[in-house]
Amino acid sequence: MKAVTYKQLWQFAKPFIRSQKWLFVTIFILDFTTYPFDVLLWPYIFNLLVEIFTRFEGDRLAAVAALKFPLALWVAQVLYVETAARSMGFLFAKATPKLQADVRMVMFDHIQRHSPAYFNERFAGSLANKMTDMTTQIDLILQQLFWPIVPALSTCCLGVVILGFINPIFAVVLALWMILHLTVCFLSSRSVDRYQQRHAEARSGLLAKVVDSFTNNFAVNLFYRFTEEKSRIGLFQKEEREKNRAAKSYVEKIRCAFSLFHFMGVILGMCGTAIYLWVQNQISTGEVVQVFSTMWSLGILLWMVGSALPILFQSFGTVKQAYQVMLDPEDMGDKSDAKPLEIGAGSIVFDNVSFQYSDKKLFENKSVLIRGGEKVGLVGYTGSGKSTFVNLILRFFPVKSGKISVDGQDISSVLLESLRKKIALIPQDPVLFHRTLEENIAFSSPHASVEGIVKAAKLAYCHDFIKSLPEGYQTKVGERGTKLSGGEKQRIAIARAILADAPILILDEATSALDSMTEKYIQESLHALMEGRTTIVIAHRLSTLSRMDRILVFNEGKIVEEGSHLSLLERDGLYAKMWKMQVGGFLPETPAVV
C-alpha cells in the first residue's frame, strides 16, 4: 500500500470544494456563528432570570416587567438559531450530493481509463467499493467538521471571552483545559486512521471476493459449492472482523481518556473554581448559574469533539485507502505529441515485436506484414497467441520492444481513441452490458439511427430472434448478457461490429458458438462486410478460412507457416495436420465454400 498524505487528499478535494466555494463559505460562516449564539446566550439568560427572581422575591408581580428583556432575548435567540440551522441544513443538502457526484465521476473516469491488463489484476467489486468508500466518507468528514468540530471550537473561544468578563480566572482555567483536552484528542485520534486504513482494505477485499463469488454463481450452483463458498468468504470475513474490532477498540480506549479529562476539566476545574469564588463573595448567584450552565454545555461540546475526532480520523483512514486507486498511473495514456491515426488502405505491420505477460514470454522479434485490404486467417493450437496478436494491434497491452504500425504510423504514437475507432473487433467471448439490446448493438456507434441498428441486426441474423422477444430491441439482457444464449450473444457482437463500420475488421472466433446453418448465413454477411477492409479472422473451424488471401499458422507465439489454404495443404505441415484431423473428424473432404 502506498502512503497517502493529507496534503495529497487536500489537493484532490480542493477543486471539488472550489467549484461550490460560496456554498461552503456560507455554510462555514453560519456554522461558526450559530452555535456560540445558541450555547452561550442560554446561560446568560439564566443568569438574568435568576438575578430577577432573587431580586424581586418580596414583590413578585414587579418581576414580570423586568422579565421582558431576557424573554425577548430568548425569543430572538430561538428564531435566529432555528433559521440559521435550517438554512445550513438546506445548503448542506445542496452542496454535498454535488460534491459526492463530482468525486464519483472523477474516480469512475480515472478507473475506467485503464487497460484490460489493469482490470485483470484487480477485482471490479473492490474498485467499486473504493468509489463508494470515498464518497460516503467525504460526506461523513464534512458532517463531523460542521457538527460538532467547528461549532465547538468557535463556542469555546467565545466562551473563554465571556467567562473572562465574569472573572479572568475562569478564562485561564477554561483556556488551559480546552488546549489540553483538544491536544490530547487530536494526537491520540490521529493514529486511528492507521487502524481504519487496515480495516477498510480488508473490507474492500472481502467485498471483492463476495462479488466474484456472485458473478460465478453459475459454477457454484453447478458444482453445488454453497457451503465451500460460504467457508471461503468466512475466511476473509474473519480477517475483516479482526481489523474492524481492533479499530473500534482503539477508538473506545481513546474515549476512556477523554472521559477522564472531561471529569477533571468540568467538575473539578471550572465548577470548583466557581464555588470557591462564590464562597469568597467574588461572584453573584446568577453568575454561578451562568458558569455552571456554560460549562455544562461546553463540556458536552468538547466531549462530542473528543468522540468525533476518532470518527473523523477513521473516515480519513478509509478515504486514504480509497485514494490509493487514484495513485494508479494511467497505463494506456496517449503521448503528449500523439496525433490521430490517418487511415488509408489499412496495412498492419509488426516490426520485431517482443511481448510477454508478466514473466511469460509469448512473442520474440515477431515481424508480420498484413497489406491494406488483405484478408488474413490466424490458426493454431489453443494458447498459441492468436488473441494476444490482435489485442496488441488494439494497444490493449504495450509491446516490450519493436513496433506495430497501421498505415505506417506507430500505434503507440497515435491517439488511442482514433485507433480504436478504426478497428472493429468481434471478441472471442463477447460480454454484453445489462442494458437493452438496442443499446448493446449501438454501443459501437452511439449516434446510429434505429434503421441503422435494425439493418446491422438483420445482417448479423439476430433481428428475428430480437423481434420475437416481448420487448424486442428494448429487452434487457442481464448482467454480462446472461439472459442470452452463447450464439445470440455472438450475433449481437457481430451486429455491433457491423454498425461500427471500421476500415479494419477482426473476428476472433466470431461464429464459434453458432450452428452450421446460422454460421453459413452470417458468413455471407461477414464476407460482404470484409470487402475493401483489412480483415483478420481467427478460427479453429478451418473451413471458415477458405476465402482468406493468406493464413498464418501460430505455434507457441511463433508463425510457423503461412500461405493460402491450398499451398499450406501442399506443404503438409502443421496446418495440413490440423486440417486432416478436422476433415476426418467433423468436416467434409473439401472446404465448404461459404
Q: How far is the CB of 536 from ligand ATP (least distance, A)?
A: 12
- Contact partner at residue 148 from ligand ATP, Mg ion, none, CB < 5 to 8 Å by partner kind: none
Rounded to whole angstroms, how far apart are CA atoms 276 and 170?
12
Tell me which stretch binds ligand ATP (CB under 6 A): 158-166, 376-384, 432-440, 474-482.
Answer: 376-384
For 569, other C-beta atoms within 10 Å of its C-beta total 15
Stretch that binds ligand ATP, among 1-9, 272-280, 345-353, 384-392 (CB under 6 A): 384-392
Report how far residue 86's alpha carbon sits from residue 80's, in angstroms, rounded to the nearest whole number: 10
CA angle in degrees (0–180, nearest 5) for 224-227-228: 90
**Which residue stretch of 21-29, 189-197, 341-349, 383-391 sits at the interface with ligand ATP (rule: CB under 6 A)?**
383-391
C-beta closer to ligand ATP: residue 261 or 350? 350
Find the radius of gyration of the CA atoms of the chain.
36
**Grid cell 478564562 — which residue?**
171
Q: Which of Mg ion, ligand ATP, none sits in contact with 362, Cβ below 5 to 8 A by type? A: ligand ATP
Footprint (CB under 5 A) of Mg ion, residues 423-462 = 428
Please report whether residue 398 would count as binding ligand ATP according to CB under 6 A: no
Q: How far is the CB of 28 from ligand ATP (least distance, A)?
A: 49
| End-to-end CA gap in the chain | 55
**Number of residues engaging ligand ATP in binding (CB under 6 A):** 13
Q: Smallest distance, Å, CB 378 to ligand ATP?
A: 8
Q: Which of 168, 333, 344, 383 lies at the binding interface for ligand ATP (CB under 6 A)?
A: 383
> Which of 130, 209, 320, 386 touches ligand ATP (CB under 6 A)?
386
Angle between helices 21-55 and 285-327 in degrees, nearest 10: 160
Least distance from ligand ATP to the Cβ atom of residue 550, Å: 18
Least separation, in Å, of the C-beta of 4 and ligand ATP? 29
Which residue type does 444 have? S
**Going residue by residue from 511 to 550, which x/- string records binding to ligand ATP, judged by CB under 6 A?**
----------------------------------------
Residue 412 vs 428, nearer CB to Mg ion: 428
Convert 230-268 into a string of H (helix), E (strand) and C (coil): HHHHHHHHHHHHHHHHHHHHHHHHHHHHHHHHHHHHHHH
Site string for Mg ion, 399-428 (x = CB under 5 A): -----------------------------x
- Give, as ranges, the residues between 358 and 397 that touch Mg ion (CB under 5 A): 387
**Residue 382, contacted partner among Mg ion, ligand ATP, none, CB below 5-8 A by kind:** ligand ATP
What is the distance between the alpha carbons of residues 395 and 555, in angstroms, rounded to a whole number?
22
Single out the residue of 382, 470, 586, 590 in contact with ligand ATP (rule: CB under 6 A): 382
Tell me the per-residue interface mask from 553 to 572 with Mg ion, x by CB under 5 A, - otherwise. Answer: --------------------
Nearest to 344 by CA among 417, 424, 409, 411: 409
Helix ranges (DSSP H) in 484-590: 486-500, 516-530, 565-571, 574-585
The three grid cell numbers given for residue 187, joined into one nine-digit string: 494526537
Which of ligand ATP, Mg ion, none has residue 357 at its interface (CB below 5 to 8 Å by kind)?
ligand ATP
Our finding on whether 388 is near ligand ATP (CB under 6 A) is: yes
Q: Among candidates 132, 117, 532, 537, which has minimal Cα distance to 318? A: 132
Q: Which does 87 bind (CB under 5 to 8 A by kind): ligand ATP, Mg ion, none?
A: none
Minimum gap (Å) between residue 390 Cβ and Mg ion: 9
Least distance from C-beta 386 to Mg ion, angstroms? 5
Which residues, in sequence order, are bridge partners of residue 535?
A: 375, 505
In whole angstroms, give the CA distance from residue 139 to residue 143. Answer: 6
Query: For the window 352-371, what string marks contact with ligand ATP as x by the rule CB under 6 A?
Result: -----x--x-x---------
Q: What share of the chain is helix, strand, coil (3-state, %, to 5)?
A: 65, 10, 20
Give the span between the Cα atoms of 338 and 417, in whole angstroms. Answer: 11
Q: How far is CA 340 from CA 234, 278, 497, 535, in A?
A: 51, 84, 21, 21
Residues within window 185-244 making contact with Mg ion, judged by CB under 5 A: none
In angstroms, the CA 140 to CA 143 distance is 5
Collapse the DSSP code of 478 into the 3-class scheme (helix H, G, I; strand E, B; otherwise coil) and give the result: coil
Cell of 18: 472550489
Amino acid at 541: R
Q: Which of 129, 318, 321, 384 binds ligand ATP (CB under 6 A)?
A: 384
Q: How far apart are CA 135 and CA 103, in angstroms?
A: 7
Among the listed residues 306, 385, 430, 487, the single contact to ligand ATP using CB under 6 A:
385
385 interacts with, out of ligand ATP, Mg ion, none, CB within 5 to 8 A per kind: ligand ATP
Distance CA 55, CA 67 (A): 12
Residues in binding contact with Mg ion, number by CB under 5 A: 2
481 binds ligand ATP (CB under 6 A): no
Nearer CB in complex with ligand ATP: 150/368: 368
Shortest Cβ 208–ligand ATP spacing (Å): 18
Between residues 461 and 554, which has the closer beta carbon with respect to ligand ATP?
554
Cα torsion at 29, 35, 36, 39 (round to 10°)? 170
Question: What whole-number distance in Å separates Cα of residue 55 and Cα of residue 57?
Answer: 6
Helix (H, G, I), strand (E, B) or coil at 370: strand
CA distance 176 to 120: 56
Residue nearest to Mg ion (CB): 387
Give contact residues for Mg ion (rule: CB under 5 A): 387, 428
Give contact residues for ligand ATP (rule: CB under 6 A): 120, 357, 360, 362, 380, 382-388, 428
